[in-house]
Amino acid sequence: MARSDTRYRQAYNRLLDFCGTLPVGASVPAETELGEIANVSRTVIRRCLSRLEERKVISWDGREKRLLRRPTDADRVELADSRVSTADLEQRFLDWVLRFDVPADTPLSVAELSRTFGVPQHELKEFLAGLSRFGLVARRRQGGWMLRGFTRDFAVELSDFRAVLELNAVEQAAEAPVDHPIWPRLEALRAEHLDLAARIDSDFHAFSKLDETFHKTINSVVRNRFIEEFQKVISLIFHYHYLWDKTEEKDRNAAAIAEHLAIIDALEARDADAAREAARRHLRTSKTTLLSSLRHHELG
């Protein structure tokens, strides 16, 4: 019942490596300096030094530390496990919710999630607490969490919010200076769209990815931590639902390509009003698609 000593183990091995670079008999640097080498606090260093002394790799008497022998592979310590990536927990969690179509108002068990994701409970709790800011999960009165889920209301509000953010982005893009990096990127996107449009009959599946890139590009002109935070969630959710709704996918995608091109045209003409209008039209379509995808899911 205590935190893991991975930090110590890693530091220890790193110190062994360092000692390997020193000649036998050389004096070992001060604790502070070693701390900087291994990027840990002095406390950890001291523990490592204790062990090094114990194993007779170094002598240690006050500030007199000397390398006694060349360290071998046998001196190294195991660094137990490679704890599964905790970084993309968000990605994996949303993926799970969307892929398995977890219904709204499902009680979430921290213990169970902890097992399926291979992440300690307390980390999950923190993560869920974060998500609750987006209204995707909520605390239950008697403890525990529940997925507020992917209801129609949620989808509508998410779409509306997305529209607000993205119309703002389009407005800003229209006023971006000529040397802004968005212009070459838009030009490249236009080419990709035209390319895909030409072979839409066979490759219409490729659109989903292109769509994501397009919206990411548009939004990239807005440098705002709040908006960026949301964008991650928004794009993921739209992305998935796009993938699902298989009804008339080809036609939908062809239409969306046309709408994207209209936005690009208006932007490159620096016509803010037209761009706004085009974006508004496209977002309206997106919203409809998202809602219809939900409806099919409910029925299915």
In the chain, what is the straight-line distance between the N-terminal and C-terminal CA atoms, in Å?
47
DSSP code, position 185: H
* Residue 122 within binding range of DNA, rule CB under 7 A: yes
Q: Where are the alpha helices (DSSP H) in the chain?
A: 6-20, 31-38, 42-54, 89-99, 110-117, 121-132, 152-174, 182-198, 200-203, 207-219, 225-244, 249-268, 272-299
Could you give the string, one character per residue 158-197, with x where binding to a second copy holds by CB under 8 A and - elsewhere?
x-xx--xx--x-----------------------------
Q: How far apart are CA 9 and CA 15, in angstroms?
A: 10
The correct pick among 14, 66, 92, 125 for binding DNA (CB under 7 A) is 125
The pair phi, psi for residue 252, each rounded to 5°, is -55, -50
Please state the closest distance from residue 9 (CB atom) to DNA, in A: 7
CA distance 13 to 250: 56
Helix or strand or coil: residue 65? Answer: strand
**Least separation in angstroms between CB 253 and a second copy:** 28
Among 16, 108, 169, 221, binds DNA (CB under 7 A): 108
Cβ–Cβ contacts within 10 Å for residue 35, how many? Answer: 19
Q: And the tokens for 270?
A: 């620096």
Spatial contact of 144 and 109, defined as CB atoms under 8 Å apart: yes
Q: Does 144 bind a second copy (CB under 8 A)?
A: no
Q: Which stretch binds DNA (CB under 7 A): 109-117, 130-138, 159-167, 242-250?
A: 109-117
Of 91, 99, 136, 88, which Cα lies nearest the Cα of 243? 99
Considering only the stretches 15-23, 80-88, 123-131, 276-284, report the one whose residues sit in contact with a second copy under the rule CB under 8 A: 123-131
Give the shortest CB-74-to-DNA separation in angstroms. 21
143, 179, 223, 225: which one binds DNA (CB under 7 A):
143
How far does CA 151 lie from the centroid of its chain?
23
Contact code string over 18-57 relative to DNA, x by CB under 7 A: ------------xxxx------xxxxx-xx----------
Binding of a second copy by 135 (CB under 8 A): yes
* Residue 94, both tokens: 């949303």
- Interface with DNA, residue 82, by CB under 7 A: no
**According to CB under 8 A, which residues from 204 to 233 bind a second copy?**
223-227, 229-230
Name 43's Cβ contacts closer than 8 Å, sequence gap at least 6: none
The C-alpha atoms of residue 76 and residue 114 are separated, in whole angstroms, by: 31
The one segment of 107-115, 158-166, 196-204, 216-224 that binds DNA by CB under 7 A: 107-115
The yes or no reply on residue 260 touching DNA (CB under 7 A) is no
Residue 134, interface with a second copy (CB under 8 A)?
A: yes
**One of 112, 153, 160, 229 touching DNA (CB under 7 A):** 112
Tokens of 140: 């239950």
Shortest CB 78 distance to a second copy, Å: 22
Residues at the interface with a second copy (CB under 8 A):
122, 125-130, 132-135, 154, 157-158, 160-161, 164-165, 168, 223-227, 229-230
Residues at the interface with DNA (CB under 7 A):
1-9, 30-33, 40-44, 46-47, 62-65, 107-112, 120-123, 125, 142-145
